[in-house]
A = this chain, B = another copy of it.
């Protein structure tokens, strides 16, 4: 009987606010990135993951998994990024079915260009609102939630490194 019981007051508050945050976060990220470098947050994420991959290269399937995208979605986005010369695709020598995606120097340059504004936006809208203890708590809480939402850790591990590394890498040329 407890599992479908209405939420307690504290639970309802936390849940409603978490939903509000996940509603507003993408809007904020897309707005800043579209304004600064004409990239959606998802496109930025794809490039970030690639930048942090060995050889700046990844298979389409793996890339889709790391970015929580379906393969068709990634395929469309890759085509657009390829037209912008930010990314290139080439067949995998080992498995002729597979396609490798690699970020181009232009793509890396755009990431560098985007980094300062992106970091500033994240700071002013999110991180600066929290004290160090809360940052730790947030990391722990989101880790627990991800263990449920993403048991295989497709996003958590790799994407975490990716976002971090790309930002740091682009901030240090």
Please report A residues at the B interface, Cβ cutoff 8 Å: 3-7, 9-29, 68, 115-117, 119-120, 122-130, 132, 134-150, 155-156, 159-160, 163-164, 167-168, 171
Known contacts A18-B142, A21-B149; 4 further A-B pairs (Cβ under 8 A): A11-B127, A18-B126, A21-B145, A126-B148
Checking B10, B16, B163, B171 against A132 with a beta-carbon cut-off of 8 angstroms, the contacting residue is: B10
Question: Which 10 pairs of residues, A with B, have the shortest CB-CB distance?
Answer: A22-B22, A17-B142, A16-B160, A12-B164, A14-B139, A4-B116, A20-B155, A129-B144, A24-B149, A6-B168
Question: B residues within 8 A CB of A140?
Answer: 134
B17 adjacent to A143 (CB under 8 Å): yes
**Minimum C-beta distance from A140 to chain B (A):** 7
Copy tally for this chain in the complex stands at 2
Question: B residues within 8 A CB of A145?
Answer: 21, 125-126, 129-130
Checking B3, B4, B26, B167 against A6 with a beta-carbon cut-off of 8 angstroms, the contacting residue is: B167
Q: Contacts A148-B124, A148-B129 hold; do A137 and B137 have CB atoms under 8 A apart?
A: yes
Question: B residues within 8 A CB of A17?
Answer: 138-139, 142-143, 146, 156, 160
Q: Contacts A10-B132, A125-B148 hold; do A68 and B160 have CB atoms under 8 A apart?
A: no
A120 adjacent to B3 (CB under 8 Å): yes
Question: B residues within 8 A CB of A4?
Answer: 115-117, 119-120, 123, 171
Chain B residue at minimal CB-CB distance from A154: B20
A137 adjacent to B141 (CB under 8 Å): yes
Checking B23, B129, B156 against A147 with a beta-carbon cut-off of 8 angstroms, the contacting residue is: B129
Could you list some 27 contacts between A and B, CB below 8 A? A4-B171, A5-B119, A6-B164, A6-B167, A7-B119, A7-B127, A11-B127, A11-B135, A12-B163, A12-B164, A13-B164, A15-B163, A16-B156, A16-B160, A17-B143, A17-B146, A18-B25, A18-B138, A19-B163, A21-B142, A22-B22, A24-B150, A25-B149, A129-B144, A129-B145, A129-B148, A134-B140
